[in-house]
Every structure is written in structure tokens, then in C-alpha cells.
Amino acid sequence: MKIASVEVIPYALPFRTPYVTARGRLDNREMVLLRLRADDGMVGLGEAVPLSLRGGTALAQVVGELEALGGRDSLDEATLRSDAIALSPPARCAALTALLDLRGRITSSEIATAPAPSQPVECNATLVAGEPTAVAADALAWAEEGFTSFKLKLGVGDDVGQVRAVREAVGPRARIRVDANAAWDVDAAVRILLELEPFDVELAEQPVANLEEAAEIAGATSIPIAGDESVETQADAERARDLNACALTGIKLSKVGGPEAAIEIAEVLPSYVSSALDGPVGIAAGAQVAQTLDAGSEGEARLAHGLATQRLFASTIASVECELQDGMLHSPAGFGLGVEIDETALQAHRL
């Protein structure tokens, strides 16, 4: 596709309360907004979220990679996914998402009918690590907004106490999943997961550092093991399957390099889409992938997706974005991603 201009805007959104995990603490989330503009003035939006707590690509490098796209007359998906352009996964995700959005918006100018309404996707609540009573209170606040699936960040403090407190607060029918962000070694993981089994935990995401360690613990607990950091490519997913290390995996678009890579992973392992603490563009892209995965799981139990994290932020840069209602994420109406940027808000949060 012929591209007239590329605009790269780093920005940051503040959290309502600090985001605390075994990887560290964040008071705000730094991101990069990408605008691809076609000759006719139509604009596609993409977003890169450098995974700063995970030792990922730095924000400045992502900005540089995306700005370099401005020297090209045209862009297409095959080139962006190839070695012809050296892009980190967050930058590749932003470019591919913006191209997808731009194609969708161009379609809107070529046809007269409105797009079919999309299906909402179920989301889990994301609970920040803390004292058990505080985490339980947070769970109840999410439950009052219609959430019935809860994800606890473990590896910080009283892991078992947090799960016990949340289970007592939300009741026996709620689904609880845990995420240790690779904070445990094998012995600790086995010990803690065995202690958590009485609380009917749906899955344990990335309890240990790598797939070999995950394979060691998978047979020691009845709790299904899910990948995250250890499953970044389709090849990783195949290894996880072959090693019997993971029964399923979470997928972050900025981590794997965009929507197509996410779907390729889901073809190997049952998957749910998680936010990398994305802004409104990343959440909308994640919602579209989640809808695709849900549509392909007809007749099977659907997994809640980790895409409700916009609730964690104190502000936004969007005038139109996905909406959360009763634990379900609804995509904006319209072609492409449907997200519209609030220019005043964007300037206020620009880095």
C-alpha cells in the first residue's frame, strides 16, 4: 500500500494506582502511537507497547524503528513480517495494526453499507498484587462491574493468602487464574501451586522462567500451566506443546509482533489475548483478535481475555474506544479499529 506519511508519537498514561507485579512497579505506561496516512488522507492507527518490566525493546528504539518507515514509499504485511525490515515485535505490531486499520478505513469509503456489529468478548479482571484484604476488596469492586473471571498477580508477598481472600470474596462460581511472571523456581512453583489447588484455580500463567521448567511442574499439579513470556512465536508454541509444558497460553500482540502472529500461535495452543497494558489502539486490535479466537472455539469452553486493563488507567487519549460493560469488551462501531484520537488529550500525554 502506498503511504504518504508516517507519524510517530510517544506518550504515557498514568495508572489510577501503581501497577505492581513480581517484575516491578509502574506508575505510568509508556507507549507509541503510529499514524500511517494514505495519499487520500485516510489514516490508520497502530500502537507499540515496549515491555519495560520484562527487559524488552526500549521506547527510544521502537520510536526510531517506526520513524524509519517514513523513508519507504509503500508498506505491505509480507514486507513488515519479513527480515527485509528489521523491526522489534512492538514496532512490528504497531505497523501491522496501523496497516490493518488503514485498509479497513479505506474500505469504508468504497462501500455504502455499515459494517456488521462485532461480538463482545469476555474479559478477566486484573488484580494488582498487594495485601490479601486489599486484593479481595479490589476483586469485589471489579465484581460489582460484572466481572466473573479474576487474574491475580502473584510472586509478591502472600501468594496463597491473596488467592484465599479473593476466593472467599467472589465465591465458588467465579473463575480465578494466577500469574507469577516467572517469579518462582521449580520447587517454589510446585509447592505454591499444590497449596492453591483447593481454591479451584483455572490456570497458572508463566509460573517459572522457561518451557523446560514448566514441563517439570506441569505433571506435579492439577492446575493447567499457561505460557506468556516463554511463548513468543509459533515455534515456541510448538515446543511448549511437544514438551507438555503448557496446556494453553496468553498472547500479547506487542510481544509476539502483531495480530497475524497471535493467530498463528493460537493455531497450536488454546489461547487467550492479554493486554500488555496497552492504550486504546492496542486494546481495539486485541479485541479483534479475541473475536477471531472466540469464533474459532465454537462448541468449546471460551477463555476470558485479559483486555480490561483500560480500567486501570486514570485517563485516555481516545474520544472513541472500546467500552467495558458487565465484564464484556465492546469494540467501537465503524470500519478498521474504530478508535478515534482526542488530539487535546494526546498532546497532554505526549512524551
Q: Known catalytic residues?
A: 153, 252
Cα separation, 9 vs 73, in Å, equals 20
Which has the closest alpha carbon to 274: 297, 249, 251? 251
DSSP 3-state of 36: strand
Rounded distance between C-alpha atoms, residue 6 and residue 241, angstroms = 39
The alpha carbon torsion through 259, 329, 255, 90 (nearest 10 deg) reads 70
Looking at residue 68, its amino acid is A
State the amino acid at position 244 in one-letter form: N
Whole-number Cα distances in Å, 270 to 194, 219, 236, 242, 274? 23, 18, 14, 14, 13
CB 46 within 8 A of CB 37: no
50 — phi, psi (to 5°)?
-60, 135
| Cell numbers found for residue 318 | 481516545
Helix (H, G, I), strand (E, B) or coil at 244: coil
Cβ atoms < 10 Å from Cβ of 3: 19
User: Which backbone phi and psi does 334 adopt, to 5 degrees?
Assistant: 115, 175
Cα–Cα separations (whole angstroms), residue 105 to 113, 186, 192, 331: 13, 48, 49, 15
